[in-house]
Amino acid sequence: MARCVALVVAAGRGTRLGGDVPKQYRELDGRPILRHSLAAFAAHPAVARVRAVIHPDDRDLYDKAAAGLSLLDPVPGGAARQDSVRLGLESLAGDPPDWVLIHDAARPFLSNALIDRVLSALERHPGAIPALPVQDTLKKAAGGQVQATLDRTGLYRAQTPQGFRYNDILAAHRAAQGQELTDDAAVAEKAGLAVALVGGDDINVKITTPSDFERAGSRLAQARQVRTASGFDTHRFKPGGDHLMLLGVRIPHEQGLDGYSDADVALHALTDALLGTIAAGDIGLHFPPGDPRWKGAPSERFLIHAANLIAAKGGRISHIDVTIICEKPKIGPHRARMIAKLCEILGLGSDQVSVKATTTEGLGFTGRKEGIAAQAMATIEMPALSP
């Protein structure tokens, strides 16, 4: 298989979108625009390496955007896009790939299928670009008046990633230095390289204007995936003690709960529900009982760990609902503190946190006051694209 490197061009200063950072670092669905395409290439099995070309002033922004992804170090770009691409290509010369995919950071919606189409055409052609036929009628105008209707036959809108044989496009860029060409296919054409068209993708838009940005944001928001999961736990009362912990709140009680940590049965059920939303196993997998680090540990730590795992996947907690099942202690007097505590730990509003209590009418182990049970439900939203 040919070895392919993706070069993501992100050295522009574009602030037409507003905001105080260049547009490729503006956040879309909670992550910088640049990260979406870096992550897509990094996850593609046929792309061996990924390198971004950045503005030297943006190193901190880049490091944040690329955190956790396995990428080549970025290289500094030049004054114009064409210079940046050439410098990016030159940076690969020491270990030249067979193919290179050149992509604009402002197109965050590239799909695996689109990358596949470009790579597949490179098997047979020196260059390949995704493109869409022009559908609208084209008018030539001046001073707000139509002067002519142009023939749109054979006209296409070019997108990225544009793929080339590496040695060919490097030579073409060296030869085209100083000319102002708007994409790499134009550089290839100047050098006489044949460039094939493959089907572009309507969703692979270039984010340029504030309305592009808004449309992209609402598209991603609509595509977020809602997930729910449940958790359940039980702890028995132990003889003696003067308090127990429930949802992080200390409640005076003549019996404590038995357990390796602080035995906060309700936080354990909630932690399991959160872990369930991302299919990350259960609390025992992450915090094995018997590990001296968790002896007497506040169960808040387990909850924070689960919330961090969700955040690392780009997920957001929408709602949690906990039911505590016991005859004693009475939960009502402590409910407001419990809700406030969960809001504080998870950064949620009080309308996103539900705490309920019930008895079992004297039936079963909770009815006999042998212990407390808790069940929880968590609902989260996951991003449409991988983080």
How far is the CA of 200 from the CAs of 82, 105, 112, 348, 362, in angstroms?
22, 17, 12, 41, 66
Pick the closest to residue 102 from 4, 172, 21 (CA basis).
4
Query: Which residue stretches of 176-248 are H helix?
Result: 184-190, 210-222
Provide the 10 A C-beta neighbour count for residue 356.
12
Instruction: Give the residues lining the site for Mg ion (CB under 5 A).
Output: 233, 268
Q: Which is nearer to Mg ion, 86 or 235 (CB)?
A: 235
Shortest distance, CB of residue 98 to Mg ion, whole angstroms? 54
Shortest distance, CB of residue 330 to Mg ion, whole angstroms? 22
The gap from C-alpha 154 to its chain's centroid, in whole angstroms, comes to 38
Q: Which is nearer to Mg ion, 121 or 269 (CB)?
A: 269
Pick the closest to residue 43 from 105, 112, 97, 93 (CA basis).
112
Q: Which is nearer to Mg ion, 220 or 303 (CB)?
A: 303
Shortest distance, CB of residue 385 to Mg ion, whole angstroms? 35
Shortest distance, CB of residue 261 to Mg ion, whole angstroms? 7
Torsion-angle region of 378 (φ positive above 0: left; ψ -120 to 50: alpha; else: beta): beta
CA distance 274 to 316: 11
**What are the tokens at 203?**
């969703």
Shortest distance, CB of residue 284 to Mg ion, whole angstroms? 8
Q: Which is nearer to Mg ion, 6 or 269 (CB)?
A: 269
Residue with tokens 């906990």: 322
Shortest distance, CB of residue 279 to Mg ion, whole angstroms? 20
Q: Which is nearer to Mg ion, 164 or 294 (CB)?
A: 294
Minimal CB distance to Mg ion: which residue? 268
Q: Which is nearer to Mg ion, 198 or 376 (CB)?
A: 376
